[in-house]
């Protein structure tokens, strides 16, 4: 049997195509790791922030996680249904708090995050992973200024 070469896509020179392809691959890996907890990576990051920053406001979550306010609201609602967070209204502000059920998940969330990072670092190498992460986040910050 002849070894088949991995074909390079004719779109691989397009940042939009490549970033989306990478996002799909990373989502599959993160779904595998965080899915064991019954969460998506986005849910896990919101919960982690609520645990580490009790009373965090959705606007702060939106900025920290680079997600729209409506997406943050949907994530919080899902976590509320799972009884992992609760919202409290204080004046004009909505504050998000992790519940005890949510708080006890923090070690498992950190482990899933570590496993995720280890999986791609094992493939790409530690140094390449760090450099790629820095470069991609730099692009997010530079390109996201106008959005």
97 part of a folded domain:
yes
Distance, in Å, from the CA atom of 20 to the CA atom of 1, rounded to the nearest integer, reads 33
For the chain, the domain total comes to 1
Domain holding 125, by residue range, is 24-139
What is the three-class DSSP state of 140? helix
Helix-helix angle 41-52:15-35, to 10 degrees: 70
100 part of a folded domain:
yes
Distance, in Å, from the CA atom of 14 to the CA atom of 72, rounded to the nearest integer, reads 29
111 part of a folded domain:
yes
At 28, list the tokens. Answer: 């599959």
pLDDT (tens, 9 = 90+) of the chain, 147 residues, equals: 555 567 688 998 999 999 999 999 999 999 999 999 999 999 999 999 999 999 999 999 999 999 999 999 999 999 999 999 999 999 999 999 999 999 999 999 999 999 999 999 999 999 999 999 999 999 998 998 655
- Where residue 36 sits, what CATH number does that domain have? 1.10.10.10
pTM of the shown model: 0.87
């Amino acid at each position: 049997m002849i070894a088949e070469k991995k074909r390079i896509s004719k779109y691989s020179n397009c940042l939009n195509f490549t970033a989306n392809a990478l996002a799909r691959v990373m989502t599959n890996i993160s779904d595998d790791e965080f899915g064991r907890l019954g969460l998506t990576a986005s849910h896990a990051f919101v919960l982690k922030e609520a645990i580490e920053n009790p009373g965090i406001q959705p606007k702060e979550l939106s900025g920290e996680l680079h997600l729209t306010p409506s997406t943050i609201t949907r994530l919080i609602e899902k976590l509320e249904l799972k009884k992992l967070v609760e919202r409290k209204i204080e004046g004009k502000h909505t504050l998000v708090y992790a519940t005890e059920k949510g708080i006890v998940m923090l070690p498992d969330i950190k482990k899933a995050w570590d496993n995720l990072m280890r999986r791609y670092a094992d493939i790409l190498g530690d140094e390449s992973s760090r450099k790629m992460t820095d470069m991609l986040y730099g692009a997010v910050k530079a390109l996201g200024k106008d959005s």
